[in-house]
Structure 1
Amino acid sequence: MSLEAQPSVERQQQRAGWEQGPDKRKRSGRRIVVPGLALVLLIGPSGSGKSTFARRHFKPTEVLSSDFFRALVSDDEADQTASRDAFEVLYLVAEKRLRRGRLTVVDATNTTAEARSRLLELAQRYHVPAVAIVFDLPPEICLQRDAQRPGRRVGQDVIARQFGQLQTNRQRIREEPFVHRYWLRSPEDIDEAIVERRPLRCDKRLWRGPLDIVGDVHGCFAELCDLLGSLGYRVERVEKTTGQPGFRVSHPEGRRLVFIGDLVDRGPDTPSVLRLVMDAVGRGRALCALGNHDRKLMRYLEGQEVKIAHGFERTLEQLAGEPEAFRRRVLRFLQRLSSHYVLDGGRLVVAHA
């Protein structure tokens, strides 16, 4: 975008939902967080404002509208006899977009579990998070908007049926595998909503080389320090303000580390390995993917039942001598890790094998 084309600060603030007050600025409107790659289902009766919302917050190429596909196959977006063919094409395009890693918004009523199930299956097949945005407006508003449509009307009977389907599907929507669910219950909710796109946790394409990839440390702290030294890293012990030990990891050439899991178990000093990696990640000098041994520790710290074997007993013995605050920190750290990362502009993907 050229400098001339950039919106003014005032316009950017308006788009983001800033309200200017005499004393301070504050956010207004419901914040809707959409992962950078996601399948977004707009759910609601005809006339609830889904298409207007989609046009306002998403690119035209990101939105797959059932009306558009009806027109595409029959030259008439109101031709309900074309719905089966229209949705076959819609599903095909949705699949192609998700396969290519493109955010996809489905603008259809989606008020029945059957209508959502095939789309949710696509999201699961391509490991894409699904987001539900539910337009739960009173039926009177939908009917009023339908009556004002230029050219075509859906009709009272159809809208009443869709509204009833939504009411009976409330609990089902809460149980379906959406990572986020948002309910917009008034025109003001819709008009003031703020859509915020956030990169997926695994999206680290801005992390470019040189990178050093380290796997399966398994509690071997001395060996890890030897390896880092041979790669040119400096590892310094520091004492934190809490009195707990910590580490500062740096490289004179700015190299960064990518740990690909299994930090724990078997070795003699899992706590020090965890401290070094957590500190390096916290300072932006490293990334860490979740390994199967790390996942077992996370589940144990969450209170789940796990099998104590394969060196896990050594980790538990070592952690027993650590403060409770340290164990809580380890749990929070593990819960934030991704199973894989996409790095270096998409040219490198790492995961624990």
Structure 2
Amino acid sequence: MSQPLRVPALSLVVLVGVAGSGKSTFAARHFRPTQVVSSDGCRALVADDPRDQSATGAAFEVAHLVTRHRLANGLLTVLDATSVEPAARRPLLELAREHDVPAVAIVLDLPEELCARRAAERPDRAVAAAVVHRQHMELRAGLHGLRAEGFAAVHVLRTEAEAAGTAVDLVGSPLDRRAEQGPFDIVGDVHGCLDELEELLGRLGYEIARDGAGRAVGAHHPTGRRAVFVGDLVDRGPDPAGVLRLAMGMVAAGDALAVAGNHEHKLVRALGRAGAGVGAGGQAKVGGNLARTLELLGAEPAEFQAAAFDFCAGLAGHLVLDGGALVVAHAGLKEAYHGRDSDRALAFALFGDTTGERDEYGLPVRLPWAEQYRGRATVVYGHTPMFEHRWVNNTLCVDTGCCFGGSLTALRYPERELVSVQARREHYPPVRPLRHEPGVAAS
């Protein structure tokens, strides 16, 4: 048996194939009836006859409407139609992009003769061999360009045995950790402040583990609580390598979870460009802040540098926890992006909702997304340091500017209790003074 087709559990699956290729049989074998939107079924809905080609336009209006609502509700959707023409696939790809889900093509490229025989033998809606031939020519013409059209993955089945024997494996997103129910201690932006992090973990009841050199390499809570780091572990503070060592140890041992911050994002790009670790970097701007972190990491053993790169590069943009009741993202996340693994969702989670403009301090101008938030999940984030805490529409920022001389804060969840420790000193001067309104200072 061939390897299963790996399909994201939240995606738009487009079945591509000529009449008689077995798309509906394949869909019925691998997906629930409610997950499949069939063009023939939609024709029947609007015209009482799945064979009525005059109802095709209306049928696809219904198919696209149902698909749009299912994707908006975070539901796997399978479109069962021929979809052999790029024009037929284009609106489906647009729907996937609109709802920040990947589009996956499963192509049944079976022999034309087999498909024509099957299509002619249909008792209810026989299809002429000439129609099958035309569809087959269109399919073959566009087959190699499917990835370029925008499909995240393309799976091609070429024989009857392959179509019948291939399984589908629905793969959950690394963002979806709904089964993780806590309790959690959600820790704000650490920014290299190792002493304060160790003190905060101790106050929360964690027992610090140390190596032979006395360095903190992990922390375990005796009652099973786990920390969740909201990102920006590195930069600005005195010991970003020490913070990474502790956080990495906790995550590896199952004592913590973590999401990416914009500073980890920049670090990964810088290390990739410099050739450290693995992977290719982008055009990260290495200012004095990041340069110092790179210098401190450069003094660490090569094995630690590689492990730190892999850790930061592997961090999720956000996490959905506690059955969907809790979302942790570095800069916050509006509800439409919860659980969505897209470039737009990642940019929002890393940088927040920005206008693209800069203020008088040269910092990005951010929109107050939390004031418009009406989502069901509690969203806990950092990125925008402030001196006081205030819940805004079931969202909370836990960045209290430790590196700027403020404090390091954790939210105990689900208790909604705040625990803070004062910064030992001002480790890094803020570009502008921290204010008392939430979400006004840039990270």
Aligned counterpart in structure 2 of residue 341 of structure 1, from 297, 319, 322: 319
Instruction: Please state how far the C-alpha of 1:62 moved relative to its aligned partner.
Output: 0.4
Cα deviation code 1:187-206 (max 9, x no counterpart): 11111111111211111111
For structure 2, the residue ranges without an aligned partner over 5 or more in a row are 274-281, 332-443
Instruction: Please state how far the C-alpha of 1:238 moved relative to its aligned partner.
Output: 3.0
Match of 2:292 in 1: 314
Match of 1:57 in 2: 30
Match of 1:254 in 2: 224
3-state SS of 2:245 partner:
helix
Match of 1:8 in 2: none
Instruction: Please state how far the C-alpha of 1:178 moved relative to its aligned partner.
Output: 2.8
Match of 2:277 in 1: none
Match of 1:142 in 2: 115
**When the two structures are superposed, what TM-score results if normalisation uses the length of structure 1?**
0.87
Work out the CA distance in 2 between the residues paired with 1:335 and 1:186: 39
Aligned counterpart in structure 2 of residue 84 of structure 1, from 57, 62, 74: 57
**When the two structures are superposed, what TM-score results if normalisation uses the length of structure 2?**
0.70
Aligned counterpart in structure 2 of residue 328 of structure 1, from 306, 325, 329: 306
Cα RMSD (Å):
1.8
3-state SS of 1:302 partner:
helix
Instruction: Please state how far the C-alpha of 1:314 moved relative to its aligned partner.
Output: 1.3
3-state SS of 1:267 partner:
coil
3-state SS of 2:211 partner:
strand
Match of 1:263 in 2: 233
Instruction: Please state how far the C-alpha of 1:118 moved relative to its aligned partner.
Output: 1.4
Cα deviation code 1:154-185 (max 9, x no counterpart): 22222222212222212321223333221111
Which contiguous aligned blocks of 4+ residues in structure 1 show a shift greater than 6 angstroms? 243-246
Work out the CA distance in 2 between the residues paired with 1:336 and 1:163: 42
Instruction: Please state how far the C-alpha of 1:306 moved relative to its aligned partner.
Output: 1.1
Aligned counterpart in structure 1 of residue 98 of structure 2, from 117, 122, 125: 125
State percent identity of aligned pairs.
Answer: 50
Judge conservation of contact 1:62–1:103 (CA < 8 Å) in 2. Answer: yes
Q: What amino acid is the match of 1:249?
A: A
3-state SS of 1:153 partner:
coil
Match of 2:127 in 1: 154
For structure 1, the residue ranges without an aligned partner over 5 or more in a row are 1-27
Cα deviation code 1:117-149 (max 9, x no counterpart): 211222122221222111111211211211221
Work out the CA distance in 1 between the residues paired with 2:4 and 2:71: 24
Instruction: Please state how far the C-alpha of 1:316 moved relative to its aligned partner.
Output: 0.8
Aligned counterpart in structure 2 of residue 231 of structure 1, from 196, 200, 204: 204
Say how many residue pairs are matched. Answer: 323
Match of 1:199 in 2: 172
Instruction: Return the structure number with greater helix share.
Output: 1
Work out the CA distance in 2 between the residues paired with 1:119 and 1:244: 56
Instruction: Please state how far the C-alpha of 1:218 moved relative to its aligned partner.
Output: 1.3
Is 1:295 equivalent to 2:268 in the alignment?
A: no
Cα deviation code 1:54-80 (max 9, x no counterpart): 000000000001110011111111111
Change (3 A) 1:164 1:245: farther
Match of 2:71 in 1: 98
Instruction: Please state how far the C-alpha of 1:90 moved relative to its aligned partner.
Output: 0.7
Instruction: Please state how far the C-alpha of 1:246 moved relative to its aligned partner.
Output: 6.7
Aligned counterpart in structure 2 of residue 75 of structure 1, from 29, 32, 48: 48
Work out the CA distance in 1 between the residues paired with 2:167 and 2:255: 33
Judge conservation of contact 1:266–1:310 (CA < 8 Å) in 2. Answer: no
Instruction: Please state how far the C-alpha of 1:305 moved relative to its aligned partner.
Output: 2.2
Higher relative contact order (CA 8 A, sep 6+): 1
Work out the CA distance in 1 between the residues paired with 2:181 and 2:225: 10
Judge conservation of contact 1:289–1:339 (CA < 8 Å) in 2. Answer: yes
Cα deviation code 1:212-271 (max 9, x no counterpart): 1112111222211111111111111136xxx99772321011111111111111122112
Instruction: Please state how far the C-alpha of 1:326 moved relative to its aligned partner.
Output: 2.4
